[in-house]
Amino acid sequence: MTTEEGVLSVVLTQSIAPEQTVIIDPLSERQRICFDNISSEQTELTLSFKRSTGIWRDGFIHLYQISLSGQGSETGEGTLELTDPDEILEACQLTDLRYRHSALGEVFVVTGANPTVSIPLSEIKTDSSLQLCIELSAPYSLDYAIAQDGFIREENDYISQIRDLEYELLTLKKYKTVSE
């Protein structure tokens, strides 16, 4: 992220409470952000990914985990545990985000100006307030993905060359042993 792109944040929108905002650390590969004091009386939570400029350019994020648990729960058990992209896709409604498997892993590509994840809470039955935690990466530009993909291809070419040379060396050693 460059300075021109502005501050990145995740905004939690609730139907019966004010919005909460957490700033994403642009230098952290993997980070956990949490929202507290979420009312269990609502039917849906919406997470919006925002820039201070209000405009997203093309890019992607990694969503590793989404968990919802009772506030101050000492057991650590979650009311909702989505621990991989397939579970997130199945349980949540995505807007302006598309899931892709790539050389960089499981990514959610930003496809529009207002990327959001809606989390249904209809199955949640508790009287206590809730805490929502999301484990994610800082957003990356598609330029980064293209460059990274180029490095991966180059590295794979080097590995292939090394394997070919190792095979050739082994063949020469066998030939030398047979001819002696």
pTM of the model: 0.70
Local confidence band at 4 (pLDDT 50, 70, 90 cut-offs): very low
Residue 165 pLDDT: 92
> Would you mind telling me the total number of residues written for the chain in this entry?
180
Residue 142 banded pLDDT, cuts 50, 70, 90: low
3-state secondary structure the chain: CCHHHCCEEEEEEECCCCCEEEECCCCCCCEEEEEEEECCCCCEEEEEEEECCCCCCCEEECEEEEEEEECCCCCCCEEEEECCHHHHHHHCEEECEEEEEECCEEEEEECCCCCEEEEECCCCCCCCCEEEEEEECCCEEHHHHHHHHHHHHHHHHHHHHHHHHHHHHHHHHHHHHHHC
Mean pLDDT along residues 135-164: 73
Tell me how many degrees the CA angle 30-104-26 measures, rounded to the nearest 5. 35
Tell which wins on pLDDT, 155 or 48: 48
Q: What is the mean pLDDT of residues 40-65?
A: 80
At residue 75, does pLDDT exceed 60?
no
Confidence of residue 39 (pLDDT cuts 50, 70, 90): confident
At residue 101, does pLDDT exceed 60? Answer: yes
At residue 147, the pLDDT reads 52
Which residue, 130, 116, 121, is CA-closest to 47?
A: 116
Q: What is the pLDDT of residue 136?
A: 92
CA distance 134 to 132: 7
Q: Which of 41, 45, 39, 121 is nearest to 79 (CA)?
A: 121
φ, ψ at 59 (rounded to 5°):
180, -165
Report which listed range, 31-35, 71-75, 109-113, 124-128, is most confident: 31-35
CB atoms < 10 A from the CB of 39, how many?
13
Average pLDDT for the chain: 80
Contact assessment for residue 104 and residue 29, using Cβ atoms and an 8 Å cutoff:
no
Question: What type of residue sits at position 107?
Answer: V
Residue 54 pLDDT exceeds 60 = no
Residue 2 has pLDDT above 50, yes or no: no
Work out the percent of the chain whose per-residue pLDDT is above 70: 79
